[in-house]
Amino acid sequence: MIKSNVPKFLSANHIMQILQISYFEANQIIKSNLLPVITIGNTKRVAAKDFYKWLETNRVTAG
């Protein structure tokens, strides 16, 4: 579920903060073509709804 304080479009910085990973790793997720990416000039964004859907379908439970 998308939190109300999350923007509609996420940058690598947003993904880095949400997943608590490095900027490099967040950028790799964006570049991986696993998510639809919106390019505006040199900036890439991912729709928050697509990101959270991807996150749910790629969740791995321990055990």
CA 51/CA 6 separation, integer angstroms = 11
CA 30/CA 16 separation, integer angstroms = 11
Quick check: 15 and 32 in contact, CB under 8 A? Answer: no
Q: What is the dihedral of CA 59, 44, 31, 46, to 10 degrees?
A: 20
Per-residue pLDDT averaged across 5-9, rounded? 89
pLDDT tens, position by position, 18-60: 999 999 999 999 999 899 999 999 999 999 999 999 999 988 7
Q: Domain 9-57 has what CATH class?
A: mainly alpha
- The structure's pTM equals 0.82
Quick check: 10 and 48 in contact, CB under 8 A? Answer: yes
Domain-wise residue ranges, the chain: 9-57
Specify the pLDDT at position 61.
Answer: 72
- Written as one letter, the residue type at 24 is F
